[in-house]
Amino acid sequence: MRMLDQILKHNSEFVEEKKYEAFTTSKYPNKKMVILSCMDTRLIELLPKALNIGNGDAKLVKNAGALVVHPFGSIMRSILVAVYQLQAQEVLVIGHHDCGMSGMKADVMIESMKERGINEEVLEMLNYSGVDVNGWLEGFSSVSESVSHSVEMIKKHPLLPNDVAVHGLVIDPATGKLDLVVNGYDQ
């Protein structure tokens, strides 16, 4: 059975057997926080458990590297929605050790794109029209620096209210241990 078929089969049983009842909650985070973290597979269950966050406790925003790349991109918009519409009062940016974005080289990914059939001309055309493809795909060298940078982007955002604390942390994807990078209460 292909993956989507497996999912749909499981899903009909899940709904039929009312397994959803264990997850009933509201859209407002009980712990009034929004977390920006990485899409890493090791963090799916480990991160909430390591922070004592259950279903309904927090808004969780994820991308590759827990990065705020653009001040008016979708990540920052999600954080503002969590703050203004969903009662989040604190923001936690949580990067992790051994992240796929750590040391990621744009030229390696661009090589893979070419191997998968993306034409050189497409890349040239993008660069020509002002899209910095290389800069956009480049990872970071230090996770704590990257977390600090994202915290700063959020904290200094012109649309974020002053009373929102923005913390920065790094989690160990094996043990769940957190290291504090920025204590938002000190800012």
Sign of CA dihedral 70, 41, 53, 21: positive
Place of tokens 């800069």: 135
The answer to the question of residue 99 lying near Zn ion (CB under 5 A) is yes
The binding track of 39-78 with respect to Zn ion, each residue x by CB under 5 A or -, is -x--------------------------------------
DSSP, collapsed to helix, strand or coil, labels residue 108 as helix
| Residue closer to Zn ion, measured from CB, 45 or 124 | 45
Strand bridging mode 178-182 / 165-171: antiparallel
Q: Smallest distance, Å, CB 42 to Zn ion?
A: 9
Q: Taking the complex as a whole, how short is the minimal distance between the CB of residue 108 and Zn ion, in angstroms?
A: 16
The C-alpha atoms of residue 76 and residue 157 are separated, in whole angstroms, by 9
The contacts of residue 7 (CB under 8 Å, 6+ apart) are: none
Which pair of structure tokens corresponds to residue 184?
A: 């938002």
Looking at the Cβ atoms of 65 and 164, the one nearer to Zn ion is: 65
Please, what is the minimum distance in Å from the beta carbon of residue 87 to Zn ion?
A: 28
**Of the ranges 55-63, 94-102, 112-120, 174-182, which one interacts with Zn ion (CB under 5 A)?**
94-102
Q: Report the interface residues with Zn ion, using CB under 5 A.
A: 38, 40, 99
